[in-house]
Amino acid sequence: MAQYVLMLLEDEDWVQKQTKEEKERAYAGINKWWEDLNRQGIVKGGEELQPKHTATTVRRQNGTMNVTEGPFIESKEHVGGFLMVDVPDLDAAIAIAKSWPGGDVEVRPIVVH
Amino acid sequence: MAKFAFLFIDDGVDYQGAPTPEQQKVYADIFKWFETNGDKITDGGAELQPTRTATTIRKRSGKAAVLDGPFIEAKESVGGFSVFELPSKDAAVALAKTWPGYGIEIRPVGDHMEAQ
């Protein structure tokens, strides 16, 4: 078995275009997907992040830690949540990413210490 | 108390490759930092392999496309994450400032996706 992190990506343009009804339907789909995964026992952790305007970034610059408002990268797309799964291989992680009812997903193996 | 996700920012140092002695010291300091602050962690999260190991699944065309590489090519990327329970955003910023590595994006977390 191997552990992968699925970064659930959020596209702000897409989110803004959704009607209230569409958003509710999306959330219902996400909740069901999440319950199914939990039932299978392959989820090792996960978090939904608050929208990117709530982000604060701390960065080392010239030896001191500088605090700035906003996410570390300014782009249309950002990380909206995480999910850690324990699955046989990358293909299995990709299959879960494909089944995610939300948007795009970045899959990354984790470092095992 | 509130939960904050710390997104550890990877500035391109390959700790899994051939780090310099200086980078190895930072990595050792990072381990110590996790030991010191372990009691505040609610979800240990993970350290991610470098972006060259990333796969991105794109769904825009209606059919899922599987692509090699991270969702965005940039100097900085997400290198890992952990979730901390802290009294306030100020406490989160103060803790992030003690991080021995390069940087952290702090984000409050929602309650929907608690692992059960």
Is B114 within the bounds of a domain?
no
Residue B24 domain boundaries: 2-108
Q: Which domains does chain A have, with CATH numbers?
A: 2-109 (3.30.70.1060)
Is B115 within the bounds of a domain?
no
Is B6 within the bounds of a domain?
yes
CA distance to A25, B15, B61, B104, per residue, from B18 (Å): 48, 7, 39, 23
CATH code for the domain in which residue B26 is found? 3.30.70.1060
Q: Residue B111: its pLDDT value, please? A: 61
Predicted TM-score of the model (pTM)? 0.91
Q: Can you tell me the mean pLDDT for B68-72?
A: 94
Is B116 within the bounds of a domain?
no
Q: Supply the ipTM of this predicted assembly.
A: 0.89
| pLDDT tens digits along A55-64 | 999 999 998 9
Q: Tell the burial category of A28 from Cβ atoms under 10 Å away from its Cβ (0-12, 13-18, 19+).
A: exposed
- How many independent structural domains does chain B possess? 1
Q: Are A11 and A76 in contact (CB under 8 A)?
A: yes
Q: Is A60 on the interface with B (CB under 8 A)?
A: yes
Chain A residues in contact with B57 (beta carbon < 8 A): 94, 97-98, 104-107
Is B22 within the bounds of a domain?
yes
Contact between chains at A45 and B96 (C-beta distance less than 8 A): no
| pLDDT tens digits along A5-49 | 999 998 877 777 888 998 888 889 988 998 999 999 999 888 889
Interface of A with B in 78-97 (CB under 8 A): 79, 81-84, 90, 93-94, 97
Q: Please, which contacts does B27-35 make with residues 24 or more away whose CB atoms are closer than 8 Å?
A: B29/B100, B30/B99, B30/B100, B30/B101, B32/B100, B33/B98, B33/B99, B33/B100, B34/B82
Is B34 within the bounds of a domain?
yes
Instruction: Return phi, psi of residue B88, to 5°.
Output: -160, 170
Q: A6: helix, coil or strand?
A: strand
Residue of chain B with shortest Cα separation from A55: B107
Is B86 within the bounds of a domain?
yes
Confidence of residue B112 (pLDDT cuts 50, 70, 90): low
Interface test with A, best of B78, B83, B88, B97 (most A CBs within 10 A): B78
